[in-house]
Amino acid sequence: MIKDIKRQELIYVFGLDNLISISLVNLFFARRWKLVYEISDVREILIKRGLFSSCLRVLDGFFIKRCMLVVTTSSQFIEDYYLHERGLMLKNYIELENKVHPVAGDLKTTKNDKLKIENRIVVGYFGMIRCQRSLELIKQLQEKSDRFYFIFRGVLMPSVKERWENDIMNIPNSSFLGSYNSPENLAYMYNEIDMSWIMYPFSEKKIGNWKWAKTNRYYEAGYYKTPMIASENTQDAIRVTKLGTGIALDLLDINGSLAVLMKLCRNDLLHYTNNLESLDRSLFEVTNDYDILAERIKEKL
């Protein structure tokens, strides 16, 4: 593999550790590799205070400015974190969102045909289940009302596993169905629900990934025309509110969030679904995204 890398003119780099390692080789061994660096999150260590974090930010800033092109899954990582928080202007970047790759033969159902049970709303919480506050809210909601049914599919992450590994089974009117295969099982899963819980893990910090990231759940829900429940002040919530594709909850205010959820009705879901039906598929589905990236790279070579 090392021999193969030596022969390359361009290297696509994932992760800050790889960026630093490859850039150091470039710098001290007179390599002439051109680097394309992908940013899919901002590590917590880059936001913390302290000598080590400060040194890491210096290296990050020094090497990222020397990349031929920066690819990011959310432009807010560049505009809010690097520019606003650190005063670092990165001009050569392109946003490549985590949209859904179409599956051959995939059936995208029309949700209007599936709202069959008049007095019950089925909500899916899929993927990495790691938001403690979300689970607390769901538990309280299910103890107060029988109008909702929750389907959990995915993996309980360490941040919630100790507290919820057994208790998640005891949430009223819910099922925990374990892991699934993506993308093979997605059409079936989304066909079974009325709304998707797309909450980013709650944080009381003023800055962080929660504020800048654009989640996979958002694109999946949009692709399968499923109304969404997002967390206020996140990128997902901004888009959900703007496009009218669901609701945004303030996880700091559990009682207020419960009140919003209790007011949901079937007409609301139909309204959100109709809005989703009217949106261009390119908002959620990969179309020519990688062609645009390839052209940008060619321009830089």
Let me know if residue 75 belongs to a domain: yes
pLDDT tens string 266-276:
999 999 999 99
Q: Are residues 125 and 79 in the same domain?
A: no
Q: Provide mean pLDDT across the span 253-260.
A: 96
Strand partners, 197: 229
CA distances from 246 to 218, 237, 275, 286 (A): 11, 9, 9, 22
Does 254 lie in the same domain as 296? Answer: no
**pLDDT tier at 158, thresholds 50, 70, 90:** confident
Which stretches of the chain are assigned E, i.e. beta strand?
Answer: 10-14, 34-39, 69-72, 93-95, 121-129, 148-156, 174-176, 195-197, 228-231, 246-249
pLDDT digits (tens, 9 = 90+) for 22-47: 998 888 876 678 999 999 999 889 99
pLDDT of residue 99: 96
The domain of 23 spans 2-99+287-300
104 domain-assigned:
no
**Domain annotation covers residue 106:** no
Pair (118, 239) in one structural domain: yes
Q: Which two tokens stand for residue 262?
A: 């209790």
Residue 270 lies in a domain: yes
| Mean pLDDT of all residues in 96-116 | 67
Same domain assignment for residues 91 and 172: no
Q: Are residues 215 and 81 in the same domain?
A: no
Look at residue 117 in the predicted model and tell me its pLDDT: 56
Q: State the pLDDT at residue 96.
A: 97
Asked whether residue 144 carries a pLDDT value surpassing 80, the answer given is: yes
Closest of 152, 149, 161 to residue 179, by C-alpha = 152
Which residue has better confidence, 204 or 135?
135
> Biggest alpha carbon distance in the chain?
68
Pair (85, 122) in one structural domain: no
Question: Higher confidence at residue 247 or residue 209?
Answer: 247
* Co-location of 154 and 141 in the same domain: yes
Residue 153 shares a structural domain with residue 234 = yes
pLDDT of residue 105: 57
pLDDT in tens, 45-76: 999 899 999 999 999 999 999 999 999 999 99
CA–CA dist 112, 267 (Å, integer): 11
255 plus 157 within the same structural domain: yes
Same domain as 296, residue 246: no
* pTM reported for the whole predicted model: 0.90
Q: How many domains does the chain have?
A: 2
Q: Do 94 and 191 fall within a single domain?
A: no
